A and B are shown apart, each in its own frame.
With several copies, the nearest count.
Chain A
Amino acid sequence: MIELHYFAGIRVLTGIPKESVNFSNQTVEDLWKWADEKYPGIRNSSARIAVNEEYALPTDVIESGDTVAFIPPVSGG
């Protein structure tokens, strides 16, 4: 299981702030595909994915127990 966090505009799109899903030993790219199927449009949102609080590359592998966040374009300050 991994934990997924959704923020700001992405949370509006998913309708939920977080969820746990069965996902392990797959890449960030795989997660994008899964997410875009479940939440059409999420991939076109310019969001980035962070794994365990670090921005991740498409080829990074997600392990069971990881915390993953969908980070839409930030607008702090």
Chain B
Amino acid sequence: MKAFEVVTEPINPQLYADYVLRPEAGAVTLFTGHVREWTQGVRTMYLAYEAYVPMAEKKLAEIGREIEVKWEGTRVAIAHRIGELQISDIAVVIAVSSPHRKTAYEANEYAIERIKEIVPIWKKEIWEDGEEWIGDQKKKPKEEVV
């Protein structure tokens, strides 16, 4: 594994938690983002993620550096999976260790917000009756929603 990576195989979150653990760490937060079946009344069949892989890994590492500067003593690892993901599959894992717990929560939440801002990864939702690449506009096939 790399500390900041885009992968195509199922994610084992424990690897990333283990990576960030150190004797100085009193707290580790591990966030996993999963494919959710229902979003605003629309049933997702599965998701397809695509990435601009080299840039995405660079941006993930950049987020890690931002965090390690912003919150002293933290250590970060992030992985995002691409390809077809089924309901409950892990799309993203963020592991943060810190001497103290408050920082571990804050820094972890910061990471997911930044991922959603700057990392070139895209999600396509596939419903029973259509599909769409999801971006800022968050369009949904309104007429087709049951």
Residues on A facing B (Cβ under 8 Å): 5, 7-9, 12, 46, 50, 53-55, 69, 71-77
Contacts and interface: CB of A to CB of B under 8 A. Distances in A.
21 contacts: A5-B52, A7-B120, A46-B136, A50-B55, A53-B54, A54-B55, A71-B120, A72-B133, A74-B121, A75-B116, A75-B121, A75-B135, A76-B80, A76-B92, A76-B116, A76-B119, A76-B122, A76-B123, A77-B33, A77-B101, A77-B115
B7 interface: no
Interface in B96-146: 101, 112, 115-124, 133-137
B136 A8 contact: no
B67 interface: no
Contacts of A71: 52, 120
B135 A72 contact: yes
Nearest to A72: B135
A76 B78 CA distance: 12
Contacts of B55: 50, 53-54, 69
Nearest to A53: B55
Contacts of B91: 76-77
B51 interface: yes
Give the interface residue-count category, chain B. Answer: 20 to 34
A76 to B, nearest CB: 3
Nearest to B92: A77
A7 B121 CA distance: 9
A53 B61 CA distance: 13
Interface string B46-57: 000111101110
Given A7-B122, A46-B135, A46-B136, A74 B54 contact: no
A72 B118 CA distance: 11
Contacts of B51: 76
B58 interface: yes
